[in-house]
Amino acid sequence: MLTLHFELKGSVCVPCDRCADEFDLPIESSQEFFLKLGTENAEESDDVAVVSAELNEYDIRPLVYEYIILAIPMHRVHPEGQCNPAVIEMLNHGEEVVEEEEADTIDPRWAALKDINLNDK
């Protein structure tokens, strides 16, 4: 059996989820993958593969790609204060407009529910 140990450390260029500008996101990961010798090639699980004893090479490129993808967090944003200020200003302005509209207009269906008295028994 062979144990492959992968240490990944570097950065990946990704778009920011908040402002959509690209930035270099540092990543760091440590993974292990096991190769078992057997009669035919097969995958037992996500981190174990069975390979023929006659196999001279094993392509690790798909593994490295998968480990890099897994090291990228779901929520990718710039460090605080580094987002595009024009986009952040537009986002903040949009929130103010929505709050003003909500305060001014109340849906008549919801207004009718205000009159219900739930304390009567």
pLDDT value at position 17?
Answer: 92
Strand-pair partners of 49: 35, 43
Q: What is the pLDDT of residue 99?
A: 58
Q: Which tens digits make up the pLDDT trace of 4-58?
A: 999 999 999 999 998 989 999 999 999 999 998 888 777 777 889 888 888 888 8
Domain segments of the chain as ranges: 2-78
pLDDT at position 95, please?
Answer: 59
Going from the C-alpha of 29 to that of each of 61, 64, 117, the distances in angstroms are 16, 11, 57
What sign does the CA torsion over 44, 5, 11, 17 have?
Answer: positive
In this prediction, residue 104 has a pLDDT band, given cuts at 50, 70 and 90, of: low
